């Protein structure tokens, strides 16, 4: 099963001409690094959102150790108020996974606490006709990539659920009595909040015609 991987949006991030590696397609030629980027945040989170996301090198190493061989990465010189940081890389995540290939594996709605449970239930009810089509269709190939792009919508990032749990345990650590979420995730049924496109609309793009 897969979840959304949600790099943090930083409105001051500037990547210039290199901002646009978001289709999940391989790049034949990577630019020479480091890419010059600017950010008004002195301490960026480990994943920074843009059309071309920035991943901290520790996250890249972590993902590659778990089989992610589909990351094309270029070093970035990130100019911040605290100085120039060299720990981030611009990452092209290669590969796209259709929502239909894992939509039936989503965890039961009753495992989601309120108040979000009601929104997830509404998303499932809206998508119910499409889920019935999936149940009656031949099972699609089962994806296995640790990280990829969703084939539908604007190709948001997906993270395999077991890898998500490992990322959470490694990088989201308690600090001063609260958990600092350096890496953020969400259930696909809340995609409208994160990507602007609802779960049912994404599934409609992915499902075979009835």
Rounded CA gap, 108 and 77, in Å? Answer: 43
Q: Which ranges constitute the DSSP H helices of the chain?
A: 57-65, 116-136, 161-171, 191-195, 199-206
Q: Whole-number mean pLDDT of the chain?
A: 93
Pick from 151, 160, 159, 157: nearest CA to 203? 151
Would you state the structure tokens that stand for residue 87, as one six-digit string? 């720990």
Question: How far from chain centre, in Å, is Cα 72?
Answer: 15
DSSP one-letter code for 94? -
User: What is the three-class DSSP state of 187?
Assistant: coil
In the numeric block, the tokens 């496109």 are attached to 197
Judge whether residue 208 has pLDDT over 80: no
Q: What's the pLDDT score for residue 37?
A: 95
Judge whether residue 210 has pLDDT over 70: no
Rounded CA gap, 7 and 185, in Å? Answer: 8
Rounded CA gap, 8 and 186, in Å? Answer: 12
Identify the weakest region by mean pLDDT among 34-38, 72-76, 106-110, 192-196. 192-196
Neighbours of 22 (CB within 10 A): 17
Average pLDDT over residues 196-205: 94
70-105: pLDDT as tens digits: 999 999 999 999 999 999 999 999 999 999 999 999
Give me the percent of the chain exceeding a pLDDT of 70. Answer: 99
pLDDT-based confidence at residue 67 (cuts at 50, 70, 90) = very high
Q: What's the pLDDT score for residue 196?
A: 87
Judge whether residue 3 has pLDDT over 70: yes
142-198: pLDDT as tens digits: 999 999 999 999 999 999 999 999 999 999 988 888 888 899 999 999 999 888 899
Q: What's the pLDDT score for residue 209?
A: 64
Average pLDDT over residues 46-68: 96
By the 8 A CB rule, do 170 and 34 touch? no
Q: For residues 191, 194, 195 and 199, what is the CA-based torsion angle, rounded to 10 degrees?
A: 10
Q: What's the pLDDT score for residue 206?
A: 94
Cβ within 8 Å of residue 122, ≥6 positions away: none
Rounded CA gap, 45 and 79, in Å? Answer: 14
Rounded CA gap, 78 and 84, in Å? Answer: 5
Q: What's the pLDDT score for residue 104?
A: 95
Judge whether residue 14 has pLDDT over 80: yes
Q: What is the pTM of this model?
A: 0.93
Rounded CA gap, 63 and 109, in Å? Answer: 28
């Amino acid at each position: 099963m897969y979840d959304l991987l949600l790099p943090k949006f930083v409105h001051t991030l500037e990547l210039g001409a290199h901002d646009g590696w978001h289709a999940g397609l391989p790049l034949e030629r990577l630019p020479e690094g480091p890419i010059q980027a600017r950010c008004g945040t002195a301490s960026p989170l480990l994943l920074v959102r843009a059309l071309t996301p920035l991943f901290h090198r520790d996250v890249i190493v972590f993902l590659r150790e778990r089989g992610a061989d589909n990351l094309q990465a270029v070093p970035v010189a990130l100019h911040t108020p605290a100085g120039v940081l060299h720990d981030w890389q611009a990452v092209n995540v290669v590969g796209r996974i259709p929502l239909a290939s894992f939509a039936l594996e989503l965890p039961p709605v009753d495992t989601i606490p309120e108040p979000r449970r009601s929104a997830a239930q509404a998303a499932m009810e809206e998508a119910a006709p499409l889920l019935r089509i999936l149940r009656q269709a031949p099972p699609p190939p089962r994806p296995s990539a640790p990280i990829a792009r969703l084939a539908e919508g604007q190709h948001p990032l997906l993270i395999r659920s077991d890898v998500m749990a490992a990322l959470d345990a490694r990088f989201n650590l308690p600090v001063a009595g609260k958990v600092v979420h350096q890496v953020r995730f969400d259930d696909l049924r809340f995609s409208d909040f994160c990507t602007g496109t609802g779960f049912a609309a994404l599934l409609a793009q992915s499902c075979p015609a009835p």
